Structure 1
Amino acid sequence: MPSFEISSYLLPAGLWHAFAPHLLAPLLFLGPLYAQYLIWFHPRRTWSLKSRIWETYATWQGLRNYIVAPITEELVFRACVLSVYYLGKIPRLQMIWLGPLNFGLAHLHHAWDTYNRFGRTANALKRAVVSSLFQLAYTTLFGAFCTFIFLRTASLAPVINAHIFCNVMGIPDVAGDLNIGAQNRRKYVVIAAYVVGAVGFGFAMNGWTNASAKKSFLWKV
């Protein structure tokens, strides 16, 4: 789409093509990002580096969730698993959609934690099954996105950054974001941000990775 190529004129071609894949996840999360802007940077609110950043990310749990886990998971489930698929001459489409199932299934152990945490009752079992199936679907879709980017770019950097970013943002809370927009008289701006982000992401998936895909040996499977 021509409008998505205009951005390349703002930066040297080589720099833009290297940087663009890193922007795909933030583009998809344009709606949640705008809602976070309304929360964090509204003129009437105070913003604290300590409470907003340091106490969340500069802890052992923060380092695990936002640094160590994304890097190690991408090394295993993207670099290692897809290398085996590549050597096995698995078709590209299967690599994109079947490969991430390993990533999704690796999160099913959370069902046992949920079941125990809520008392090992019938309701706890139902909650564990529903939440785990949702997590399986979400992580598999996310894995497919990361696999696509990894194959197109032959680089772990964009997928690690996307993984870190999505861990920080969490699952989008559409209803909550609309409520934040309504409180700030920006409800329709939040809706527009969601729509622009989703549509833009759909167009940019190919457009912002075309240059990298032409050089990627993984995309030529």
Structure 2
Amino acid sequence: MVFDENGCASSILASVFLTILYVASLYVWRSKLSRDHPTTIKRRFFSVSCVMVLAPIVTWLFLKESTLNKGDMYEQLGLRLSGLLFAFVTPLALTMILFLGPLTMQFLSGAWKIYIHPIYWFASWQDLTWVRNHIMAPISEEWVFRACMMPLLLQCLEPYTAVFVGPLLFGIAHFHHMFEQIKLGLDLRSSIMISAFQFMYTSLFGAYSAYLFLRTGHFVAPLAAHIFCNHMGFPNFGDIPYYPLTQRLLIISNMVLGFTIWCNLLTPLTEPAYYDNKLYWPSRFQFPNDISLF
């Protein structure tokens, strides 16, 4: 269906509407309970799931015929089989390289050893907060802010522009945490500073995630990166001084090395042709039609 064939006002408004819809779904339940209370988490699981059902309908309503002619609705949302395995493994590997420094800290501290114990994973799946942070939040956010929103923005914006415009809405959406922090007793100035910092790094991550989505044309690409980033959290630079000198040097070196390698590999390893992506990003070359990377 088409609401605005020539302009892009409807696409922008639809993207803003999706942002408001997602955040509003978290507050439809009137409660004094904290965001980490099991009842709050369960209620939000339900309301966010409803938004995930509505979001692609909103996207479909505001997609132009010319956009749908380039690829069906499933392709627009990044739901494809061609190149799927590569779209999961490569972005995950790239993100792990970016976190080489924090991964080194986990290795040196021995924290990584808990991952080899089945009890850790069993206990995690019983923890609603863990499920929210590692499963529900990444799936719902990537579905709404990448899969459903980016096709709308690309109707009137160049890919590089859309990569930075969309994540601004993603970053703004995180400002709702400020009200919860104030409700818990944090003063206004501190909550604003924390929320501004969250806006900064969530917007940067959103740009990275949007780039992965547009380059690969797969929903699973930013999802894998998002799950890993939520698992690692923001790097705890304050812990570095507590390591011995040689380990501190190794950690800092690996942080620089990881960032450098990531910068050099990001573009070549997300070449659209590797993922059979003919929809979102112009490719420098194409594979023959009879070759599939799945």
2:260 alignment partner in structure 1 = 199
Distance 1:16 1:201 in 2: 20
Say which of 29, 32, 52 aligns to 2:99: 29
> Could you tell me which residue of structure 1 aligns to residue 13 of structure 2?
none
Pairwise mapping of residues 1-221 of structure 1 onto structure 2 (< 5 A)? 18=87, 19-40=89-110, 49=117, 52-86=120-154, 88-118=155-185, 124-176=187-239, 178-182=240-244, 185-210=246-271, 211-212=273-274, 215-220=277-282
What is the aligned-residue identity percentage? 32
Structure number with the bigger relative contact order (C-alpha 8 A, sep ≥ 6) is: 1
Aligned-partner residue type, residue 118 of structure 1: G
Q: Distance in 2 between matches of 1:29 and 1:205?
A: 14
Counterpart Cα distance in 1 of 2:108 and 2:126: 24
Evaluate the alpha carbon distance shift between residue 186 and residue 52 of structure 1 in structure 2; reply closer, same or farther with a 3 A threshold: farther
* Cα distance change on mapping 1:69 and 1:15 into 2, 3 Å: closer
Match of 1:7 in 2: none
Structure with a larger share of its residues in helix: 1
C-alpha distance in structure 2 between counterparts of 1:151 and 1:65, whole Å: 24
Distance 1:143 1:101 in 2: 8
RMSD: 2.7
SS in 1 for 2:218: coil
| Structure 2 Cα separation of the partners of residues 205 and 142 of structure 1 | 14
In the TM superposition, residue 180 of structure 1 has moved relative to its aligned partner by: 4.8
The change in CA–CA distance for 1:101 and 1:41 in structure 2 (over 3 A counts) is closer
CA pair 50-17 structure 1, distance change in 2 beyond 3 A: closer
- CA separation of 1:126/1:201 partners in 2, compared to 1, >3 Å: closer, same or farther? same
- The residue that corresponds to 2:25 in the other structure is none
1: CA distance between counterparts of 2:136 and 2:85? 27
Deviations 1:109-163 (A, max 9, x none): 10011112125xxxx1011100000000110000000011111000011210110
State the secondary structure of the residue aligned to 1:155: coil
Gaps of 5+ in 1: 1-13
Unaligned runs of 5+ in 2: 1-82, 284-294
Using the TM superposition, give the Cα deviation of residue 181 of structure 1 relative to its aligned residue in structure 2, in angstroms. Answer: 3.4
Which residue identity is paired with 1:20?
Answer: T
Tell me the amino acid that sits aligned with residue 102 of structure 1. L
How many residue pairs end up in the alignment?
199
TM-score, structure 1 length as denominator?
A: 0.80
TM-superposed CA distance for 1:56, in Å, is 3.8
Counterpart of 1:4 in structure 2 is none
Q: Which has the larger radius of gyration?
A: 2
